Amino acid sequence: MKVLVDADACPVKDIIERIAREHNLPVIMVIDTSHILDSDYSEVVMVSKAPDAVDFALINRTMRGDIVVTQDYGVAAMALGRGAYAIHPGGKLFTDKNIEILLMERDIAKQCRRAGERVGNHARKRTLADDERFAQAFSRLCRSVGDDQKLPEK
């Protein structure tokens, strides 16, 4: 089992590494060439800046039981399809039960934006409470998956 991170705009990379280290889990952070990332713990994979290159590189490395950290609902859906777990940097666990509605909401928001409507909760500043919520959820997920007990429902 490993942790894969859609790392281009991920605000919790340090938290992921700290908790993964505690659970002795390898981490792969995938970025495109427009980003710079150094890590003494994670393997950093750099891919081209082509559209969706990071998404496909991450998913191609994902296997059943892995943990994927992403803000992208499409990446989360593909991870779930591979039998992996997926978690948002806000701490929300993506599941087979919630991913369809999230994808539908994303599609509706896209249609609204095309029609010129303003959609979403535009750029609320991340807080320490957000970081703590993610840390707790991610740690709980790592424990559950690592112990093969009380696995969260996908």
CA distance 53 to 11: 20
CA distance 29 to 70: 11
The string over 97-116, giving b where at least 16 C-beta atoms fall within 10 Å of a residue's C-beta and e elsewhere, is eebeebeeeeeeeeeeeeee
User: Is residue 92 predicted with pLDDT exceeding 80?
Assistant: yes
**Which residue would you say has higher pLDDT here, 108 or 116?**
116
Phi, psi at 32, each rounded to 5°: -100, 175
Mean pLDDT of 114-141: 85
CA distance 86 to 84: 7
Mean pLDDT, the chain, integer: 88
Q: What is the pTM of this model?
A: 0.86
Ordered by where they begin, the domains of the chain are 3-95+121-147 (3.40.50)
